[in-house]
Structure 1
Amino acid sequence: PILSAIRRMKSRKEDHIILQLGRIFWEFILAAWRLLFAIIPPHQIAHGWISFICSLAFITGIAYVVTRLTRLIGCVT
């Protein structure tokens, strides 16, 4: 019983470390995403048309990058 409890504690610590590393990786990816879309101007300027056009341009750019990546790895688009 004591050995199994120790094994469970080690397993929980390892799971915690893996979860923390996953969280750090995910935050790194999201930081780039947030910085990219942070430069879109607020919707109060020009009744939102500038932010609408910028958003469409960014979405188009992301779709282009995803399409290029899928072609690079051989996925069918």
Structure 2
Amino acid sequence: MITYKKKLVKETIVEALEEIREQSPRGRILLVADNYGSHHARITQQWADELGIEFVFTPLYSPTLNVIEPL
């Protein structure tokens, strides 16, 4: 389980990446993400690389692929 963060900034995303890796210590992790700026931040990408987590980004302007959009 990942702890919900009220404020999604690059620092809290890095914390979430660490939690994801702790829960799955081995193997490849693909994380599907939208194009929120903090997902593309240099620190986020560097930390993901260090933890062995790959981001797969949804195409721009595709709200139907992001299940949270209707809410």
TM score, norm. by length of structure 2: 0.23
Structure index of larger Rg: 1
Higher normalized strand content (fraction of residues)? 2
Higher normalized helix content (fraction of residues)? 1
